[in-house]
Structure 1
Amino acid sequence: MKYKHVIWDWNGTLLDDRWLCVEGINQGLLKRGLPIISEKTYRKVFTFPVENYYKKLGFNFEKEPFEIAGDEFVAYYGKYFSKAILHKDVRYVLNKFYYLNITQSVLSAGKHDFLLQWVTNHNLKKYFLKIIGINNQYAKGKTQQGLSLIKDLPYDKEDVVLVGDTIHDSEVAERMKINCFLIDHGHVSNERLKSTGRKVFSNLKDIIFHII
């Protein structure tokens, strides 16, 4: 085995929720008289910290605090999140690693309580050694949680890989001093992901052979 433990990002990597995030941000844009965006545009501009992405779209946080728009988005997402499904082949890949005794965790920029609910609703808890979210609903703190997670895992860093769908996932892995694979079916375009220098995949199944 090349790796003994896989750390998965959740939103966009395992969960196909890009469409919902676009709907949610467009609700906020419409409310403020700003142009709505397509999924293609979203994948070109989405970034962390998410406050910067809001600013790119025209939100003015001198007129109102970021938290107002952030809370509106979270409320919309929470109302419809049950409609978001897992990406193709997620269960197949999780099962593959599970039966090969490659342990797995989730590390998310989603609020911890929400994350537990999401993972439970999709009947995936049995696959994960640890399920780690953050303590706020504004996607702040994933790096610190990642650093804590890597200290808690009973593996050497070279035996752990993070799989995500954003440039921020690459940055988090860099801070954790572990390798990272990126998947382009989520929140960031293939072109932007390739700018990190990481291996970028379009199919989750293709990652298997780089891990086992």
Structure 2
Amino acid sequence: MDIKKYKHIIWDWNGTLFNDIALCCDIMNTIRKRRNMPQITLEKYRSVFTFPVKKYYEKLGLDVSDANWEKLSHEFINDYERRKYECILFDDALPTLEKFAELGKTQSILSAYSQHTLEEIVAKFNIDIHFEKLVGLDNIYAASKMDNGKKWMGELRHDNHEVLLIGDTVHDYEVAAEIGADCLLISRGHQVKENLAGCNCTILDSLSEIF
């Protein structure tokens, strides 16, 4: 992959820069325990996780009917917000951000995280200086980043393939394809490498492999 050709890097947050995979699995197991459902392994979590997350809940046998989905969403996000600072950035996240900055690349985050909490957590880790813009959702349901991605790509005003989106899920690949950005997927995140294999893009095991 020729990194030099890109003018802007769009980052996914959860599972790409921020290592919250084990926490999300643990919270799901807490939700399941409250309903007397069997626990799942981290590998099982990563093999079934998908977007929209409602489908992932459904795959795990949870009731996602309208009224219950509202309850499940709040249950997850309340536990997540209470425990999010148990998690840290991946070890190679900051060095990679700094390297892109040294190369003169502008950077942003496009996330399924809510806007307010995205801004809060990025500031907490003192890395907001690296980003031109943080683009999150206006709700807690983590449905899709597609619309926000299209809008942000339009604001960037770069030609197709001058922008690289770095993420960890098939949804990140789908967003990149839709908005006209190239895509790089990191396979240690919320989805196993086998689930990413059908994506027509570069797949690496870690950010440290980029340079």
What TM-score do you get using the length of structure 1 for normalisation?
0.95
CA distance in 2: counterparts of 1:177 and 1:192, whole angstroms: 22
CA distance in 1: counterparts of 2:66 and 2:126, whole angstroms: 42
Identity of aligned residues (%): 39
1:93-132, aligned counterparts within 5 Å?
Answer: 93-132=96-135
Residue 5 of structure 1 and its aligned partner are, at CA, apart by 0.6
* Larger CA deviation: 25-34 vs 69-78: 25-34
> 2:54·2:143 contact (CA, 8 Å) conserved in 1?
no
CA distance in 1: counterparts of 2:30 and 2:171, whole angstroms: 25
1:16-165, aligned counterparts within 5 Å?
Answer: 16-62=19-65, 64-165=67-168
Residue 154 of structure 1 and its aligned partner are, at CA, apart by 3.5
Residue 169 of structure 1 and its aligned partner are, at CA, apart by 0.3
> 2:54·2:64 contact (CA, 8 Å) conserved in 1?
no
CA distance in 2: counterparts of 1:184 and 1:190, whole angstroms: 5
CA distance in 1: counterparts of 2:64 and 2:132, whole angstroms: 39
CA distance in 1: counterparts of 2:180 and 2:24, whole angstroms: 30
What residue identity is the alignment partner of 1:125? D
Residue 64 of structure 1 and its aligned partner are, at CA, apart by 4.5
Partner SS, residue 132 of structure 2: strand
For 2:12, the equivalent position in structure 1 comes to: 9
Q: Which runs of 5+ in 1 are unaligned?
A: none
What TM-score do you get using the length of structure 2 for normalisation?
0.95
> 2:52·2:144 contact (CA, 8 Å) conserved in 1?
no
Q: How many residues of Structure 1 are paired with residues of Structure 2 in the alignment?
A: 208
What residue identity is the alignment partner of 1:98? A
> 1:150·1:157 contact (CA, 8 Å) conserved in 2?
no
Residue 187 of structure 1 and its aligned partner are, at CA, apart by 0.3
> 1:111·1:137 contact (CA, 8 Å) conserved in 2?
yes
CA offsets per residue over residues 131-181 of structure 1, 9 Å max, x none? 100110110241000000000014212210100000100011111011101
Residue 168 of structure 1 pairs with residue 160 of structure 2: no
* Larger CA deviation: 121-130 vs 55-64: 55-64
> 1:165·1:184 contact (CA, 8 Å) conserved in 2?
yes
CA distance in 2: counterparts of 1:185 and 1:99, whole angstroms: 25
Q: Which runs of 4+ in 1 moved over 6 A?
A: none
What residue identity is the alignment partner of 2:146? T
CA offsets per residue over residues 48-70 of structure 1, 9 Å max, x none? 11011101111123495211111
CA distance in 2: counterparts of 1:121 and 1:62, whole angstroms: 35
For 1:183, the equivalent position in structure 2 comes to: 186
